[in-house]
Amino acid sequence: MLVGMTGYGNVPFSFGQMKGFLEIKSQNHRYLDFVCYLPVGFGAVENKIKNIVQKEISRGRVTVSVKITEKSAQNVQFNQRVVQEYLKEAKKLQKDFSLDNTLTIASLVVLPGVVETKEAILDVDKFWTSSLNMCLQKAMKSLMSMRRSEGKSLEKDIAHILKRMSAQVNNIESRTKTILRENKKILSPEEFPSFQKGCEINEEITRLKHYVEEYKLLLKAQVPVGKKMDFIAQEMQRETNTIGSKLQDQIVSNSVIALKSKIERLREQAQNIE
């Protein structure tokens, strides 16, 4: 089955007092383009995230973001050495200038350097094992579900395009036979072989039919086929151009134009398929 390249997943996480969410999204891209946005200190898990993504996805621009909404409580400490220095100087001022001793806890804590706050140290490996890895797996499941759903829609559209293309190819083949039959009546035995040779498109018709059948097989493939579909569509375009240059007939020209339009649709859709 076909797999598209558009998907999204968002899963919240909690680890101790820390809370946040992991977001993953994918968009069209010619190759696999992986981008990861992590908070400071989370760099150790980037390769782990990338490895999991690469196991599921081979094509598309994939962005993974880990965002913290609530941080762990900060550790508050009093710098006793600084407090001692303040008290020492305060006593000296009190003695030298006969001042009242009015230095209190409330006045001490607002002095520079007395209160220190430190971020709680995060155990990234434990965080990955107990929380983040499971979040990524859930987000990937959601993203892949969307990509497969898009693939089903693309499969239906492409199957419809191929059906209409087959009809146009048959029209060209039938019209070619009519053209040859009509000209055989009006051209001399010497002129007709040359005319027939110039209108010979059996090879092009055969290849177009083959490409259509090849495309149908790709619709059921269990591996990424987007690049191959684009390549086959280019070959279809080339065969169609050759037919248009060989047969200068209004009915054939109309069918060629219709074929080109449908082939362009195929190429556009191939850009959406993994």
DSSP 113-140: TTEEEEPPPP-HHHHIIIIIHHHHHHHH
Q: Are residues 64 and 21 in the same domain?
A: yes
Q: Are residues 64 and 195 in the same domain?
A: no
pLDDT of residue 139: 97
Task: Say which residue the tokens 């303040």 belong to.
Answer: 86
Model confidence at 119: pLDDT above 70: no
Model confidence at 168: pLDDT above 90: yes
Half-sphere exposure of 245 (CA within 13 A, CB side): 7
- pTM value is 0.77
Is 2 among the domain residues? Answer: no
Enter the DSSP assignment of 79: -
- Tokens for 232? 């086959």
- Tokens for 62? 């994939």
Q: Are residues 135 and 239 in the same domain?
A: no
Model confidence at 65: pLDDT above 80: yes
Q: Are residues 216 and 156 in the same domain?
A: yes
3-state secondary structure of 60: strand
Q: Are residues 252 and 158 in the same domain?
A: yes
Q: Are residues 128 and 41 in the same domain?
A: yes
Is 262 among the domain residues? Answer: yes
3-state secondary structure of 194: helix
Q: Are residues 139 and 236 in the same domain?
A: no
Distances (CA, A) of 212 to 2, 20, 163, 225: 16, 49, 9, 15
Q: Are residues 193 and 252 in the same domain?
A: yes
Distance CA 161, CA 266 (A): 8
Which amino acid makes up residue 37?
Answer: Y
- The beta strand positions in the chain, using DSSP E, are 7-15, 18-27, 32-37, 60-70, 75-78, 115-118
Q: Are residues 162 and 236 in the same domain?
A: yes
Q: Are residues 48 and 133 in the same domain?
A: yes
- Tokens for 233? 């569509």
pLDDT digits (tens, 9 = 90+) for 97-106: 777 767 777 7
pLDDT digits (tens, 9 = 90+) for 251-269: 999 999 999 999 999 999 9
Q: What is the CATH number of the domain that holds 45?
A: 3.30.230
Q: What is the CATH number of the domain that holds 217?
A: 1.20.140
pLDDT digits (tens, 9 = 90+) for 227-253: 999 999 999 999 999 999 999 899 999
Please give the residue range of the domain that contains residue 17.
7-72+124-147
**What's the start-to-end Cα distance of the chain, in Å?**
11
Q: Are residues 178 and 68 in the same domain?
A: no
Query: Considering just the CA atoms, what is the radius of gyration of the chain in Å?
Result: 36
Number of domains within the chain: 3
Is 233 among the domain residues? Answer: yes
Task: Say which residue the tokens 């609530």 belong to.
Answer: 70
Is 259 among the domain residues? Answer: yes
Q: Are residues 28 and 45 in the same domain?
A: yes
